[in-house]
Amino acid sequence: MSLPARLIEGYEAFRSGRLAAEQDRYRELAEQGQSPEIMVIGCCDSRVSPEVIFDARPGELFVVRNVANLVPPYSPDNNYHGVSAALEFAVGALGVKHIVVLGHARCGGVRAFAEDSAPLSPGDFIGKWMSLIAPAAEKLGPCGDPPSADYLARLEQASVINTLGNLLTFPRLGKLAACGRVALHGAYFAVATGELLILDPQSGQFVPAASGAVRA
């Protein structure tokens, strides 16, 4: 089976556009290696690409995406830990200075948790994975049946805060964050309007990142 035509067309557009314009940068990155200062932990959702939202150039963002932008607590054992491995590399080898947990509106993973959705397969990988947000949900209280849009948005944002707490359970990162060498940030992308909200650590509220209304 051949690669979808959409991807071939997209690559052609990339080659004649962005690659042509940034060829030198790609060569430089190939020779010198990457040294991004920012790690983004985002959701797999096709609407919330961090590189698009932050208008990133090659080499600028070290991105990990998973269902509902989660990070499990530090748990060294014999299981496979993809997010922890990426975090270990970002902090220990790349020396990133910022880690951004990017949540978003209308997250299917968060909805699945709130609605207690039936497993999609016998493995119930989503159910197990999404149980990571149980501590955030417990803090919010009853969710209603079905959960309201307002509740889901609050849970999506509470989950970002919970994930920031999980990041601090990684001993090395916890130390670096405590002494200000790595800054942790929470953000939330409202898909329909394109508005980006940033977590204000003082108030615990998500506030607009940019002044002025986003043009519809």
Q: Which residue, among 41, 3, 203, 97, has the nearest Cα to 12 in the 3D structure?
A: 3
Nearer to Zn ion by C-beta: 43 or 182?
A: 43
Candidate residues 42, 45, 170, 182; the one interacting with Zn ion per rule CB under 5 A: 45
107 is an interface residue for Zn ion by CB under 5 A: yes
Please count the residues of this chain forming the interface with Zn ion, following the rule CB under 5 A.
4
Strands (DSSP E) contained in 3-70 are 38-43, 61-66
Q: Give the closest residue to 39 by CA, choosing from 60, 23, 55.
A: 60
Q: 79: closest CA among 144, 20, 128, 112?
A: 128
Task: Specify the DSSP class assigned to residue 2.
Answer: P
Query: What's the min distance (Å) between Cβ of 5 and Zn ion?
Result: 27
Q: Name the minimum Å distance from CB 190 to Zn ion.
A: 13
Of the candidate spans 41-49, 145-153, 175-183, 187-195, the one that interacts with Zn ion by CB under 5 A turns out to be 41-49
Closest CB to Zn ion among residues 45, 100: 45
Long-range CB contact pairs, 148-155, < 8 A, 24+: 151/114, 152/106, 152/107, 152/110, 152/111, 152/114, 153/105, 155/110, 155/113, 155/114
Q: Minimum distance from CB of 3 to Zn ion (Å)?
A: 26
Q: What is the per-residue binding string for Zn ion in 57-96, x denoting contact by CB under 5 A? A: -----------x----------------------------
Binding site residues, Zn ion, CB under 5 A? 43, 45, 68, 107
